[in-house]
Structure 1
Amino acid sequence: MARASFEYDEVGNTFYYVLVSFYALVLLPITYYFFPTGETTEVKKVNLHECQCHGCKEKRQRKEANKPWRRTKKIAIYVGLTVAWIIFAFLVKKMTEIEVKHEEYNPYTVLGLDQGASTSEVKKAYRELSKVHHPDRGGDPVRFDQIAKAYQALTEEEARKNWELYGNPDGPQATTFGIALPKWLVSEEYGMWVLAFYGFILLIILPVVVGIWWYNSIKYSVDKVLLDTTQLFYYFIHRTPRMETNRMLMVLSGSFEFWKQYNKDIIERETDNLDLPRYFVRKSQIHANLNGKGESLN
């Protein structure tokens, strides 16, 4: 039984198929995820999920006005996706230009005869070609070897049987498996670097990315509320089931979403530690004065 052999892509033709396939697997979801949506879609999302009172609308407008980089980001995404798709189109074009050279062995073609030519015609063609291509007469040895094998395949019973069964007058050949990777990837010069690159991706980059995603996802509940905030609410509600408006606002304002450590959009000012205590003291005084006036009227 003939042994199997493996052949790498010497020219780089079949490697384009692998490259285009993996490139498309990455490009399509990235395009779907990052493709900028229109203003109408964004407004619809806001209308569905956010408060529509006058104050909240003004706050959102001020917030959007303070993001001049948003338009720049959208343009950068458009440009990046356009370049990525141009590269994809170039790779597809190169792939379509690849010529697949695979010719079935046909001894009639080698001898320049029509299919099914008679034995006498085969012998005549062999004699004529031997006069031209025989090495003793200055011919090409490789070409003459092909002619001799073709003649043998059409005149000898065993050789003809091998050709009909295996496509070759010499009998079964080694099974060849093509690997769609450039040969330099497994060469002694670059093989270790390629292996190190794969190890870096699989053993370092991939675990880090999965770990970051997992760490961020476990901080939130199903409703996209921080678990720390949920525990805080549970504690206060369990402690004081009946809440007045002031205490309810106090509990809500204590959410971890308003802490910069959990929410990068929060702007913390040094003056908050001075202004907020004064505000609460002043609010308490106003509340006490109002209660005092109410008691005097009674």
Structure 2
Amino acid sequence: MSDSRYSYDENAEAWPYFAMTLLSLVLVPTTFKRLTKIARSPKESVSSGLESQYKPPSYDIISKSRRKSKQGKILTVTNVLLLLGWVIFFAVLYFVHSQESTEEVQLFDPYEILGIAYSATEKEVKSKYRKLSLKFHPDKIGRNLGNNTREELEAQYVDMTKAYKALTDEVTRKNYLEYGHPDGPQPTKQGVALPKWLVDEKGSPLVILSYALLVGVALPFVVWYWWSGTKQYTKNGLHTVTAADIFEKFAKTEFDNITDDVLLDLLANAEEFKVLYPGMTPEEVRNHLESYLNREEEKLEDEVKKLGIVARSKTILDGMLDIASSFKNVDLIKRILLLSQLFTQALPPGANELLQLPFIDKAKAESLEIKTIKELVAVSDDEQKKTLGIKSVEDFKILKSFESQIPQIEILKAFFKVPGEQVVMPGSLAHLVIKYRVSYPGTKLPAVDPKDLEEEDDAETLKKPLSTNNKAPLLESIYAPYLPVYIQPRWNVLLINPRENKIVEPPTAITRAYTDGKVSTFKVQLSAPLPDQLGRFRLLIELRSNSFVGADAMESVYLEISPPPTTEEEIEDDISDPDEDSIAGAMAMMKGGKTKRRAIEDSDEDADESSEEEEDSDTDINTDTEDEGDA
């Protein structure tokens, strides 16, 4: 039974606002999070126009796979539910806008009830009430009801009486002034933003059923779905079974024995393909992978499966790289990164990197004297035509367009720095600072300004040292003709200890750079404090592309760990004795302290000689004792 003390939203005036409030609490933060993610995500469309210039065999299937992969990121369950939620929100908003309020808040106004002015005197109030009483008193109504019922007129007379007393009776007037009503405090009206039929005898079973479905079915399903998803896949999208198999293989196999064939076998045995294509054996997956790398055409149905396998393989390779980083073996990490490049360009291991360009014969490429793209762009166009055997002017233009989209990265300077410090001290947390610039073949870059190679601390970099990583614009997407997904170019930063052949830090990615000659900056924060050993240690930096074979860069970097610049002895020397003719000197003499005479007759030449002697004594350090070696 419903409680009569509560009023229900029979006219649908409150529950729409309640529903919009609940929806907005979920929709607004979720939408903001999704829009922020979209804004930060790299562009996936190719703006260079190369896709329209060169279309490889099976282009229609490949482009369809690209569109499907892009739609798959848009038509997610979260986005669909989010869109549905906003549709409901605006539907409720339209309902509220079109709904007319039927309930008006009635305020007790004795002047309005009696129909008199607010400046009326007590005599005028009594006169007006006397006239109304002659008309509306129950004994005077009789049969002259007009359009009103007897009960309505009697209720109106009661209100007139209360209004009269509120203006003339002392107690009633006090209640009116304090509580807004002549009868004193009024009972609080509790409203329920639900129609009454939902909570009475007829509607209560529906409410109980809805509650049971929500708590007993929907909520457990959502929790199970979320838990199963987090349990089956890592944060990088790698299936947990696949991750366990890769980790076990790396842990139990000598790194020298992990060849490209071993990595391809790990890909073929990935649990993802068993989920995507039930019944397909690892041998069949391996055949599809080799068919893709060798650019072989298959039947339509098999071609679609092959492209689906390749698209998923890029994610698995990224997860494989994360697992390999925990073992820190440089050769294993490089092998995985190279395999990722080969998958981007559809090249078999050991192939000539010139095959990344169109219209190059695969058999002839093996006998060419020029083996790298860097060597190719270094010669003239006529020499390129002759070397590659391309006679068509149109085909050569397209080849040059592909050649001009291959970014080349140049490491200008690399050093270690501790924010806010002049030197790198033992036990400090340092950053690896890389000054670089990216260019494309055929572009002429201006000379580098030495000032751009320095790293000065300011308020922003001291507070957020890695903020410089996001200042340069994102690199444009590249067109990989055979790859069934869009790809954003990046370079994986490897900081290598050459003596132990291990990486110092897990790989991080450079995705931004100026391409107009300006110097870009990328910082890697070292996760562990520096050792306590002083000296100069040689490390290696390698920037490995994820998009092109031969677009990498390597440079040596030296970590110089120095002692703190200021010692306690230097601080004590800086505190000189006071002059004897100063107030501080007089107080020091009274206490028996030391003072010094003010040298007013010293010449500038003597002062210069003295300062030079002090400088020589301070900088007389035996640098031959500094150690230098490989870390």
CA apart distance, 1:83: 8.7
1:28-47 correspondence runs (5 A): 29=30, 41-43=43-45
CA apart distance, 1:212: 1.1
Aligned-partner Cα distance in 1 for 2:215–2:84: 27
Instruction: State the identity as a percent.
Output: 28
* Larger RCO (alpha carbons 8 Å, 6+ apart): 1
Higher mean displacement: 9-18 or 151-160: 9-18
Aligned-partner Cα distance in 1 for 2:108–2:227: 57
Residues 125, 164 of structure 2: 8 Å contact kept: yes
**Corresponding residue for residue 102 of structure 1:** 105
One-letter amino acid matched to 2:271: F
Aligned-partner Cα distance in 2 for 1:255–1:80: 31
Aligned-partner Cα distance in 1 for 2:263–2:229: 28
**Corresponding residue for residue 168 of structure 2:** 155
Which runs of structure 1 show a deviation greater than 6 angstroms over 4 or more consecutive aligned residues?
A: 57-60, 66-75, 77-84
1:187 equivalent among 200, 213, 237: 200
One-letter amino acid matched to 2:6: F
2:262 equivalent among 240, 247, 252: 247
Name whichever structure is richer in strand by fraction: 2
Aligned-partner Cα distance in 1 for 2:59–2:251: 34
Residues 107, 153 of structure 1: 8 Å contact kept: yes
CA shift digits 1:68-125 (9 cap, x unpaired): 98999989x9999999766644532442454362232111110001124211111111
Question: What 5-or-longer segments of structure 1 have no aligned partner?
Answer: 45-56, 280-298
1:128 equivalent among 122, 127, 131: 131
One-letter amino acid matched to 2:205: M
Question: What 5-or-longer segments of structure 2 have no aligned partner?
Answer: 47-55, 146-152, 291-631
2:140 equivalent among 137, 141, 158: 137
Task: Tell me whether 1:259 sits opposite 2:274 in the alignment.
Answer: yes
SS of 2:105's equivalent?
A: coil
Aligned-partner Cα distance in 2 for 1:231–1:193: 48
**Corresponding residue for residue 51 of structure 1:** none
Task: Tell me whether 1:8 sits opposite 2:8 in the alignment.
Answer: yes
1:1-298 correspondence runs (5 A): 5-25=5-25, 29=30, 41-43=43-45, 62-65=61-64, 88-96=89-97, 97-99=99-101, 101-138=104-141, 140-242=153-255, 243-260=258-275, 264=276, 266=277, 268=279
One-letter amino acid matched to 1:106: D
Residues 31, 81 of structure 1: 8 Å contact kept: no
Shift of the 93–248 alpha-carbon distance from structure 1 to 2, 3 Å rule, reads closer
Aligned-partner Cα distance in 2 for 1:145–1:215: 68
Aligned-partner Cα distance in 1 for 2:17–2:174: 37
SS of 1:181's equivalent?
A: coil
Residues 7, 179 of structure 1: 8 Å contact kept: yes
Residues 153, 169 of structure 1: 8 Å contact kept: yes
CA apart distance, 1:143: 0.8
SS of 2:159's equivalent?
A: helix
Shift of the 60–104 alpha-carbon distance from structure 1 to 2, 3 Å rule, reads farther
Largest Rg, 1 or 2: 2
TM-score normalised by L of structure 2: 0.35
Aligned-partner Cα distance in 2 for 1:209–1:94: 30
One-letter amino acid matched to 1:212: Y
State the superposition RMSD in angstroms. 4.1
SS of 2:45's equivalent?
A: helix
One-letter amino acid matched to 2:138: P
CA shift digits 1:194-236 (9 cap, x unpaired): 1221221122211111111111112122322112112111222
Residues 8, 194 of structure 2: 8 Å contact kept: yes
Q: Matched residue pairs, number?
A: 253
CA apart distance, 1:256: 1.3
